[in-house]
Amino acid sequence: MSCCARTCLRDGLAREMTQKLYLVRHAAVDVPTGVCYGRSDVGLAGPVEQQARWLKSELPREVPVFTSPLSRCLLLAEALITTHGALIIDARLAEMNFGDWEMQRFDDIPRQQIDAWAADPFGFRAPGGESGDQVMARVQVSLSEILAIGTDAIIVSHGGPLRAICGSLLGLPRETWLAQEMALGSLTILTRDAERWCCTGVARMQG
């Protein structure tokens, strides 16, 4: 489900907009299908310039760019700041640390661990890693600081953190957060009016 599917249409956004967040997910990575790569600093499958060129036509200028320090996000953010605002690297926007699962094939991870994660995606923690609750907590602290600036902002991050941002700001039930569509290479726009946050746009790089 897109994070826009259940929001915004109720009010038509007739009131004055006060703040926008532009949520950018990095493009596809150079990792075989079926491999867990969360916090691992893996490379992109293609050149970052294609996504950066598309985003420059979609994003506002002179707004701060907040990014995960992982290279699949950082390289994109660095390409954007040539025409956009200041770059802020924030480790709290990194993807989940899967600990011993990192760079392992999911088929090689003990089945009981996978089942435990599926049963409790927020509370379960892979050996040596962090839980979904821990990810959400650090992302929320980062988000509160970004919002306190009071200006529009661009956030370049990963599927987990971006779903947490969307789910929390849009007031969605937490059990639905991980089901939100947040495609690789996509842009999601959240807009705050006088009363609430709404999803006002979703776009995805073609090709």
Cα within 13 Å of Cα(171), Cβ side: 8
| Structure tokens belonging to residue 139 | 């992302």
pTM attached to this predicted model? 0.91
Residue 70 has pLDDT above 70, yes or no: yes
For domain 19-204, give its CATH number from 3.20.20.80, 3.40.50.2300, 3.40.50.10320, 3.40.50.1240.
3.40.50.1240
Report the distance separating Cα 47 and Cα 93, nearest Å.
Answer: 22
pLDDT for 160 = 97
Q: Are 186 and 203 in contact (CB under 8 A)?
A: yes
Residue 127 has pLDDT above 50, yes or no: yes
pLDDT in tens, 138-193: 999 999 999 999 999 999 999 999 999 999 999 999 999 999 999 999 999 999 98
Report the distance separating Cα 142 and Cα 91, nearest Å.
Answer: 9
Model confidence band, residue 10 (pLDDT cutoffs 50, 70, 90): very low
